[in-house]
Amino acid sequence: MSTVMLKKWGNSAGFIMPSEAIKAAKAYIGEKFELSTKDNGIIVLKPLNGSRSGWLEAINNAHDQDVDLDLQNAVNEFDDNEWTW
């Protein structure tokens, strides 16, 4: 268990999450969460299922099974529209 402090961030406030908590939650930087509160003051963060849902498990499983991931041919909409050279 870690202790964190609520800090001012512009007009809002935020916590800095320790890397151990991020790993334990299987979260990633940039992931979106739904924030809710309970009547007793408990803050709940629930991950939203985004486009990267399941990626970490798939990559870890591929590594464990010594699967060669063909990332050279992995293209998505960002690759088609956003890259400029």
Q: What does the pLDDT look like over 2-57, one tens digit per residue? A: 889 999 999 999 999 899 998 888 888 888 889 999 999 999 998 887 656 677 77
Q: Compute the 3-state secondary structure of the chain and give helix, strand, coil in percent, each to the nearest 5.
A: 30, 20, 55
15 lies in some domain: yes
80 lies in some domain: no
Each as own residue / partner, the long-range contacts of residues 65-70 (CB below 8 Å, 24 or more positions apart, any chain) are: none
Number of domains in the chain: 1
Distance CA 33, CA 36 (A): 10
83 lies in some domain: no
pLDDT at position 74 is 66
| Predicted structure pTM score | 0.49
Distance CA 32, CA 48 (A): 6
**Domain coverage including residue 17:** 7-69
Q: Is 69 helix (H, G, I), strand (E, B) or coil?
A: coil
22 lies in some domain: yes
17 lies in some domain: yes
